[in-house]
Amino acid sequence: MVRIIPMSTSSFHLASLRPSPTYAARLSPIPRPLLRSHRPSVFIFNKYGTIPKKYEDKSSALSQAQMFGIRTYMKQRAEVNGIEASAPGNMAQTSISISQESALEWVKRDRRRLLHVVYRVGDLEKTIKFYTECLGMKLLRKRDIPEERYTNAFLGYGPEDSHFVVELTYNYGVDKYDIGTGFGHFGIAVEDVSKTVDLIKAKGGKVIREPTPTKNGSTVIAYIEDPDGYSFKLLERAPTPEPFCQVMLRVGDFGRSINFYEKAFGMELLRKQDNLENKYTVAVMGYGPEDKSTVLELTYNYGVKEYDKGNGYAQVAIGTDDVYRTAEAIKLCGGKITREPGPLPGINTKITACLDPDGWKTVFVDNIDFARELE
């Protein structure tokens, strides 16, 4: 479950989701200036973060044979040995390339789906009211953990086992967060953007950009802000099975990010668009068609290599058939594993967590365990 250890008062850390009958998010404490009390700062290590060493699953360091199957492993070793006999100096490099090929082939076959996005809010009831009344979401479930001083709320346009949802976290006594410059926006598909904007205005919401046709005339868009300052892009579309359609994040190396999400995450590059006038480029990445599923929209602003991530946005969660193979593929593609794959203490759910090249966090959750938790 949740463990707390001291940390330096000069830093803070984004944690992720925590163990529970359903995996809700327990987010890490906030930097001291944002806390009302003056207690020592702490890290919260939980289901979607790192755990104390005594609880680490020592079996997570699986051999290559365990990871990709005995037959595949033996075949690879035979190929490597053949090359080794003729060119000993190339053995290590050959072994790595074969392992990577096997891992990436498996990634493409893995049944993956974006599950939810996690971020912090300062007034949970106000945010829930805004999302339900203005954006048409439903409150799917809510849980309060008074002993840990936080509350979670899950909202979306359908059940969690088939839709991408929002997971909000409210930490007692913290009413404001720094969103930073790295997070971009969430995308919501609506049938009538102008009507939605009028409703948001009537409810006292903030409109950043009035309804405007896109340059190619394919749709109408508008931008609004929720009570915590998170930006939402409204896109006018026909009825879709997944109205919560985008998570936009900014990246510092466009080619590197596309390559990572294609290989390590098994996503497809659905669309790429360059805006020379405003000096930015967009890559839309996902596991299904852009008009029927949730996608990541990676944005590169010309010449900008780094962004401030703030302490509001936390991570996305993705379903996988095998967290061990997922972690291996991420490592082979240069990603950083922040939580080694394996079951969590106290429950059977298997997860692994990682950072992409820009430091954006993602948690992979075992598909079968996830379905069991929802039951």
Tokens of 207: 């409109």
38 is in an annotated binding site: no
Distance between CA atoms of residues 245 and 86, nearest Å: 52
Q: Which residue has the tokens 């009413």?
A: 175
Distance between CA atoms of residues 360 and 364, nearest Å: 13
Residue 182: φ, ψ to 5°: -80, -40
Are the C-beta atoms of 22 and 141 separated by less than 8 Å?
A: yes
Are the C-beta atoms of 106 and 68 separated by less than 8 Å?
A: yes
Are the C-beta atoms of 185 and 147 separated by less than 8 Å?
A: no
Q: Which residues contact 58 (CB under 8 A, 6 or more apart)?
A: none
Distance between CA atoms of residues 240 and 220, nearest Å: 16
How far does Cα 341 stand from its chain's mean position? 16
Angle (CA) 181 116 369, round 5°:
140
**Three-class secondary structure of residue 314 per DSSP:** strand
Tokens of 169: 């976290």
Distance between CA atoms of residues 324 and 57, nearest Å: 12
Long-range contacts of 52-55 (CB under 8 A, 24+ apart): 52/3, 52/5, 55/3, 55/345
167 is in an annotated binding site: yes
**55 CB neighbour count, 10 Å cutoff:** 14
CA atoms within 13 A on the CB side of 345: 16
Q: Which residue has the tokens 């040995």?
A: 81
Residue list for the binding site for Zn(2+): 167, 185
Residue list for the binding site: 167, 185
